[in-house]
Chains A and B, each alone.
Chain A
């Protein structure tokens, strides 16, 4: 799946990944391959991206929204 994390100032991350964990408003959400289409609001927290080499990359966000569609995750963060 491809993941894109964008903020108004710049693009934080773009690339292939195995999974991503986002801080949803009602709790942490893990998203793996072939997830159903989803739109969720995010709260302040860390986004964890597990990349192709099984390494974990973290991004701090102050809230935002994430869209999952056809194995493409777009995180609009602040």
Chain B
């Protein structure tokens, strides 16, 4: 049986680890709330935008838009959205694995991976898939202060490349947020745009005046809706990260508690054994003297 001192120091170390994981869980819970708020803030904007766009595109052919151009797929960009930090279970690994699956599925194409989040960045920076010149290199800094302007500047960069014909297809790979315990891995085709389903029972029969005209509004709106989609993916991933970390840390805390219980039992057993031993020795010594 391990000696008392060893067990005691293990108890101390497990205990302090447990304190850390418990604290991290609380921090993640607080951050999760903030991240969820950000999603709720954006929802009215995204919904209204979608509604207007749907109103318009039922009457218009969107496929002529430069962002809808279908080309032979030779150059693919994967936007892989992970977190900057670890300790959140399989959260980042899932995304990276999915990105690698897409790479494997397209052997003939030139593939680049634009990483948002350090975890993915570290995996791909030394490979052939690291993005070439002209892409934001420090895209992971976006998490320091998540806002629409920064996200849209990255989206704009990707959209420009697509418009210029340097990319034929763009995928978004990210974890979408369902609830604190569940994140669902999503692979979305970002570009070329998938035309919105024209709702048959036209959402509005209202006779709008369009200023300046429908075409121009649509060309205005499509990039906006793309940027919103991009931003939403990042927000979702951000909320998902905190949710995943919260769950992971909760489990870690539980495990540490179990371990502490076991260790304490072993410790007490060892303590009692050593006391019994001592008594035995004393009794034996006394016997020997008497004898």
B44 touches A11 (CB 8 A): yes
Inter-subunit contact B148/A74 (CB<8 Å): no
Which residues of B lie under 8 Å from residue A64 when comparing CB positions? 224
* Cβ of B178 to closest chain A Cβ, rounded Å: 21
Instruction: Determine the chain A residues whose CB is within 8 A of the CB of B38 once the complex forms.
Output: 9
Near B by CB (< 8 A), chain A positions 1-44 give 6-11, 24-26, 29, 36-41
B67 in contact (CB, < 8 A): no
The number of residue pairs between A and B whose CB atoms lie closer than 8 Å in the complex comes to 77
Secondary structure call for the B interface: helix
Are A37 and B211 in contact (CB-based, < 8 A)?
Answer: no
- Chain A proximity of B155: nearest CB distance (Å): 11
A76 to B231, CA, bound (A): 15
The interface on chain A, measured as residues whose beta carbon lies within 8 A of the other chain's beta carbons, has a size of 24
User: Least Cβ distance of A23 to chain B in Å?
Assistant: 12
Q: Does B217 contact A (CB under 8 A)?
A: yes
Inter-chain contact A39/B211, CB cutoff 8 Å: yes
Q: Is A78 interfacial (CB-CB < 8 Å)?
A: yes
Q: Which of B42, B46, B207, B210 contacts A9 (CB 8 A)?
A: B42
List the A residue with the shortest CB-CB distance to B56: A39
Prevailing SS type, chain A contact patch: strand
Say whether A26 contacts B41, CB under 8 Å: no
* A41 and B220 contacting across the interface, CB-CB below 8 Å: yes
Closest to B228 in A: A8
B52 at the interface (CB under 8 A from A): yes
Residue numbers in A under 8 Å from B13 (CB-CB)? none
Closest CB pairs A-B (n = 9): A40-B211, A8-B148, A41-B220, A38-B209, A37-B208, A41-B217, A6-B45, A8-B42, A39-B208
Can you report 18 A-B residue pairs in the complex whose CB atoms are below 8 A from each other?
Answer: A6-B44, A8-B148, A9-B38, A9-B42, A9-B148, A11-B44, A37-B206, A38-B210, A39-B211, A41-B220, A63-B220, A65-B217, A65-B220, A67-B52, A69-B206, A69-B208, A78-B152, A78-B224
Knowing that A29-B211, A65-B220 touch, tell me 18 more A-B residue pairs with CB under 8 angstroms.
Answer: A8-B42, A8-B46, A8-B231, A9-B42, A10-B41, A11-B41, A11-B44, A25-B212, A36-B209, A37-B207, A39-B208, A39-B210, A40-B217, A41-B212, A65-B52, A65-B224, A78-B148, A78-B224
